[in-house]
Chain A
Amino acid sequence: MTAILTTKNVTKRFGGLVAVNSVDFQIPDQSIVSIIGPNGAGKTTFFNCITGFGKPDEGEIIFEGAPIHGLRADQISHLGVSRTYQNIRLFAEMTALENILVGQHTFLHASWISAVLGLPSVRKEEKDALNEAKRLLDFVGLKGHGDTLARNLPYGAQRRLEIARALATRPKLLLLDEPSAGMNPSESEDLTVFIRRLRDEVGITILLIEHHMRVVMGISENITVLDYGEKIAEGSPKEIQSNPRVIEAYLGRGAATEGMEDAHERHQKKGG
């Protein structure tokens, strides 16, 4: 299987702190891959490097054979990389539909002059865009909430709207930053099913940051573990579950005999 995204030796520093340290990483096309690691391991920073939020200090990021490090975020989005955010970042004062319409920005071509003149081509384009936005809203299960302001949607719906907005950019690779945060078990179960559908039906490659081990172990084909910015392990869910270095990273030395699931939950409680 070919890799849709390859990172080579990616390093990101904040002053003296090395947030991401020389990470080599590959995502096979049409796969579901997770990045896990304790809080502060550099997962989100790694996401930011890929999506152009902060340029890596060293290393290369290759998307579909072309380097994308050094490109602006909008250019990267244009190539087909989209993301959601750990702490939801919707356009709070815009409606759900408007949020999705912004996601379609790149695919609309009306200049401001033709928009002012109200040319028929602009009207058609807007109409099509609105239909597409409604379709995406249905797809994430938010039918009928189109005119609600994003800030007034319930938490779970906001998460789904963020995914719909990311899908509107027609990504080939979708990065989800803790999509199940704050969800109850049945909601995260729905999410798992939904993520699989994205891959199987729409054909999008998925990269996840996730803390819920049930979700991670349930859907990932491959897991990469980061700790203090470094990649410490990589492999299938089974391999990761039994990897002593991973368990050590999560719990410290001597706890390697405990089950991953319990250990992680305890860690979560301690942390927050």
Chain B
Amino acid sequence: MMNNTNKENSLWAAIKIGLLGGAVALFISLVGMAEVFSKRDVVEKTMTLGQFVLLAISVASGLLAARRTAALLDKPNTASQAAAGLIAGFFSAAILTLFVIIGAKINIRTVFLNASPGLYSMLTLNQGVSGVWILPAAGAVSGLLGALSLSLPNAVRRPLFHAILFIFFMALFSGLFRVVMINQSGFWEKTAKYLFSQTGMTRPGAAIFFALVVAISAFWSAKGQAIKTNVANLPKGRQIGLRVIAFAVIAFIALGLPLVSGAFIAQVIVIVALFILMGLGLNITLGFAGLLDLGFVAFYAIGAYTVGLLTSYGQYGLQHISFWAAIPLAVLVAMAAGFTLGLPVLGVRGDYLAIATLGFGEIVRLLAGSDFLAKYFGGPQGIIGIQKPCIGVLGEFTKVDVPRVCYSLFDAAKPGIELSTPQSIYYIAVASAILIAFVSWRLRESRLGRAWMAIREDEDVAEALGVNLIQTKLLAYMLGAAMAGLGGAIFATLIGSIFATSMQLIVSINVASLIIVGGMGSIPGVIVGAIALIGLPELLREVSEFRYLLYGATLIIMMLAKPEGLWPSKTTQRELHHLDAGTSAE
């Protein structure tokens, strides 16, 4: 009797999981993602990215259903798990099937713009409604495969999983790799054309990557532990040597990257570095000191406008000084702005602080873009003609709208090195990010860092222990603002012009999100968060339409699955590590 009810449960559970997967698949199709993805190939002439994603949903449904069955049944066996996978896979495709059938009879495009003929033909492999049976069949088979993968031994399943993940990754980024490699011409160009097609990977390319990842993953799971212990057992000198080599390799790649990457990738990396700068800044106020600042973009804007006003050769330029002289000034002005913001909100806590700072951010943006102050800040036209950084001697400023000439340091007749491309700004941005990460780390370990964290934990108690709240909070605002100001300063010189409209609230929200996704208070977390939330969407131009959809989904999934962030700070990690021991002790 007991067994019977369990069996009913597991059947229903499989259907439920399948229907959930189906809902996701339908959603992806209706917002237009499936069709956009189907224009890219995972493997040329074999499988489009759209098909891959839909099949992946069915596989995942099958896998989850099989796992659920194993948990529900008293004596789970492969057959019942396979059945669950089959059922879940079928239902995950059933909703789309129904959708295709309905869509063939009624025009639902008036409501759902993306329910286009292209979508229908993609879902039925160009067969029309008569081919609609392909969908549930493919779903069921995928579900079955997902379920069966559970019974594979770990040593087989993991490499396969890694390989499929890697293929997906390569499919997303194949365009970038292709362009970079083709730019090198010769051998690299030939290799690129062999591995990648215009829209994805070629068949041999995919096969090679698949085999390579399977081999590496299998090798690592078999020998990885042994290698790790071997390295740990090496004498200290050799270990340091290994580290130096690893560091040198990373440095070599980092230094050489802009030379091969082209302007686009360099610019994306610069933007990631700027968001890292802002993230590190907000990490001080929010991550360390617990002061939620939703107007953080204001400091970025202030840094950018300071550099703009001081260096521009346009009509709003005030001083025409060099970028290098403007940078420290921009940082100082941003710090002063941090002080000015901090002073009135000293006694404001929690949610109220978020609203107050939000207001500050909006005020700065509106003032900068207003007609009222257009005489000084250019209003909606912004500030243009920002002088590029020059390694050498800058010529005299002659007249408006004529850039100052950059002469060589040694020979006044020869041109100097003008850092005008994203590839050259890359070095400034990356070096700044590394420097500021180091500064953050030193601050965190200092007396001031501990005081910040104490304020975050309990501000009254911190005060009773002798922490001067006014000074400590103001320093948090000022140092955070300084870092954001540096980011803004580099941004101004990267773009060459600034507009108040680019300093939107969404930038502040992006920065707060990347800190949360990376791990509150964690310095590597900021870097990982910036790469994940800023870098990947910038690189994936195809999905830029769906950027905020994916963004929101990522945030929700992160908060449910890994609330401590992708790379949590040591203390948070320690906390999770201690959790088992901790609960028993209490």
A residues bordering B, Cβ < 8 Å? 51-53, 72-74, 76-78, 82-83, 85, 89, 91-95, 98, 101-103, 105-106, 108, 110, 112, 115-116, 118, 122, 126, 147-149, 151-155, 165-166, 168-169
Kindly list chain B residues whose C-beta atoms are within 8 Å of the C-beta of A112.
443, 446, 448, 475, 479
Contact (A103, B465) CB under 8 Å given A93-B571, A94-B454:
yes
* Assembled-state Cα–Cα distance A101/B446 (Å): 10
- Quick check: is B582 within 8 A (CB to CB) of the other chain? yes
Chain B residue nearest to A125 (CB atoms) is B447
**Cβ–Cβ < 8 Å partners of B446 in chain A:** 110, 112, 115-116, 122, 126
In chain A, what residue has the closest Cβ to B449? A115
| Residue B544 at the chain A interface, CB threshold 8 Å | no
Q: Is the CB of B465 within 8 A of A152?
A: no
The answer to whether B466 touches A115, judged by C-beta atoms less than 8 angstroms apart, is no
Considering only CB atoms, which chain A residue lies closest to B470 in the complex?
A72
What 0/1 pattern do residues 545 to 579 of B give for CB contact below 8 A with A? 00000000000000000000000000110110011
Residue of A nearest to B569 (CB): A93
- Given A108-B447, A110-B447, does the pair A115, B442 have CB atoms closer than 8 Å? yes
* CA distance in complex: A129, B585 (Å): 29
Nearest CB of B to A238, in Å: 34
B453 & A93 in contact (Cβ 8 Å cutoff) = yes
The answer to whether A72 and B463 touch (CB under 8 A), given A93-B575, A105-B447, A152-B585, is yes
B586 at interface by CB-CB < 8 Å: yes
In the complex, chain A residues whose CB is within 8 Å of the CB of B469: 72, 74
Do A149 and B465 contact each other (CB < 8 Å), given the known contacts A101-B450, A110-B446?
A: no
**Interface check B185, CB cutoff 8 A:** no
Among A76, A105, A110, find the residue whose CB has the most chain B CB atoms closer than 10 A.
A105
Q: Is the CB of B466 within 8 A of A74?
A: yes
Q: 8 tightest A-B contacts by CB? A: A115-B446, A152-B582, A106-B466, A91-B457, A77-B466, A73-B463, A108-B447, A102-B454
| 24 pairs from A and B in contact (CB 8 Å cutoff) | A52-B464, A74-B464, A82-B464, A82-B465, A83-B464, A89-B460, A91-B453, A91-B454, A98-B453, A102-B451, A102-B462, A102-B465, A103-B465, A105-B451, A108-B447, A110-B446, A110-B447, A116-B439, A118-B442, A122-B446, A126-B445, A151-B582, A152-B578, A166-B465
User: Counting CB contacts under 8 A, is B581 at the interface?
Assistant: yes
Q: Are A77 and B465 in contact (CB under 8 A)?
A: yes
Q: Which residues of B contact A103 (CB under 8 A)?
A: 465-466
User: A154 is contacted by which of B464, B575, B586 (Cβ under 8 Å)?
Assistant: B586
Contact pick for B443, options A83, A89, A116, CB 8 Å: A116
Do A78 and B578 touch (CB < 8 A)?
no
Q: Which of B460, B465, B479, B571 is the most central at the interface, judged by chain A CB atoms within 10 Å of its CB? A: B465
Is there contact, CB below 8 Å, between B581 and A115?
Answer: no
The answer to the question of B77 belonging to the interface, with a C-beta cut-off of 8 Å to chain A, is no
Task: Report which of A73, A94, A122, A151 forms a contact with B464, defined as CB distance below 8 A.
Answer: A73
How far apart are the CA atoms of A78 and B467 in the complex, in Å? 9
B residues touching A (Cβ–Cβ < 8 Å)?
Answer: 439, 442-443, 445-448, 450-451, 453-454, 456-458, 460-469, 475, 479, 571-572, 574-575, 578-579, 581-582, 585-586
Give the one of A89, A91, A118 with max B CB within 10 A: A91
Q: How far is the CA of A74 from the CA of B454 in the complex (A)?
A: 13
Tell me the complex Cα distance, A116–B445, Å: 9
In chain A, what residue has the closest Cβ to B581? A152
Measured between beta carbons, the chain A residues less than 8 angstroms from B463 are 52, 72-74, 77
Q: In the complex, what distance in Å separates the CA atom of A56 from the CA atom of B399?
A: 66
Inter-chain CA distance A228–B353, complex, in Å, is: 37
> How many angstroms from the CA of A93 to the CA of B585 in the assembled complex?
17
- Quote the shortest CB–CB distance from A113 to chain B (angstroms): 10
Check if A92 sits within 8 Å of B457, measured CB to CB. Answer: yes
Across the interface, name the chain A residue whose C-beta is closest to B447. A108
From A78, A116, A147, give the contact of B466 (CB < 8 A). A78
- Mostly, the B contact residues are helix
Across the interface, do B457 and A93 meet the contact criterion of CB distance under 8 Å? yes
Whether A102 and B450, one on each chain, are in contact in the complex, defined by CB atoms closer than 8 angstroms, is yes
On chain B, the residues within 8 Å of A151 by CB distance are 575, 582
| B291 CB to nearest A CB, Å | 16
The minimal Cβ–Cβ distance linking A137 to chain B, given in whole angstroms, is 16
With A and B bound together, what is the CA distance between A58 and B443 in angstroms? 42
Residue picked from A51, A74, A78, A154, most chain B C-beta under 10 Å: A74
Q: A101-B450, A105-B467, A115-B445 are in contact. List 18 more A-B contacts (CB 8 A).
A: A72-B469, A82-B465, A85-B461, A89-B460, A91-B462, A93-B453, A93-B457, A108-B447, A112-B446, A112-B479, A116-B446, A151-B575, A152-B579, A152-B581, A152-B585, A155-B586, A165-B465, A166-B465
* Nearest-Cβ distance from residue A7 to partner chain B, whole angstroms: 18
- Residue numbers in B under 8 Å from A116 (CB-CB): 439, 442-443, 446
B443, B458, B466: the one contacting A105 at CB < 8 Å is B466
Shortest Cβ gap from B328 to chain A (Å): 14
CA–CA, A190 and B572, complex, Å: 33
Question: Chain B residues near A94 (CB, 8 Å)?
Answer: 450, 453-454, 457, 571
Shortest CB–CB separation between residue B67 and chain A, in angstroms? 32
Give min CB distance, B535 to chain A, whole Å. Answer: 27
Give CA–CA (A112, B483) in the complex, Å: 15
Task: Give the distance to chain B from A183, nearest Cβ to Cβ, in Å.
Answer: 15
Question: Across the interface, which residues of B come within 8 angstroms of A165, CB to CB?
Answer: 465
CA separation between A89 and B458, bound complex, in Å? Answer: 8
Say whether, besides A101-B450, A102-B451, A110-B446, A149 and B578 are in contact (CB < 8 Å).
yes
A contact residues around B448 at 8 Å (CB): 112, 115
Q: Which residues of A contact B462 (CB under 8 A)?
A: 91, 102
Q: Which residues of A contact B479 (CB under 8 A)?
A: 112
A contact residues around B579 at 8 Å (CB): 152
Q: Which residue of B lies closest to A51 (CB)?
A: B464
How many Å lie between the Cα of A147 and that of B442 in the bound state? 19
Docked complex Cα distance between A157 and B447 (Å): 24
- Bound form: Cα–Cα A205–B461 in Å: 21
Q: What are the residues of chain A within 8 A of B457 when measuring CB–CB?
A: 91-94
Nearest CB of A to B182, in Å: 44
CA distance A145 to B586 in the complex (A): 15
A105-B475 in contact (CB<8A): no
B464: A residues at CB distance < 8 A: 51-53, 73-74, 76-77, 82-83
Chain A residues with CB under 8 A of B575: 93, 149, 151-152
Chain B neighbourhood of A73, CB < 8 A:
460, 463-464
- Chain B hits for A155, CB < 8 A: 586
> In the bound complex, what is the Cα–Cα distance between A149 and B585 (angstroms)?
13
In the complex, chain B residues whose CB is within 8 Å of the CB of A115: 442-443, 445-448
Q: Complex Cα distance A72/B462, Å?
A: 12
Q: Which residues does chain A contribute within 8 Å of B461, judged by CB atoms? A: 85, 89, 91
State the CA gap A246–B585 with chains docked (Å). Answer: 39
Q: Are B578's CB and A74's CB within 8 A?
A: no
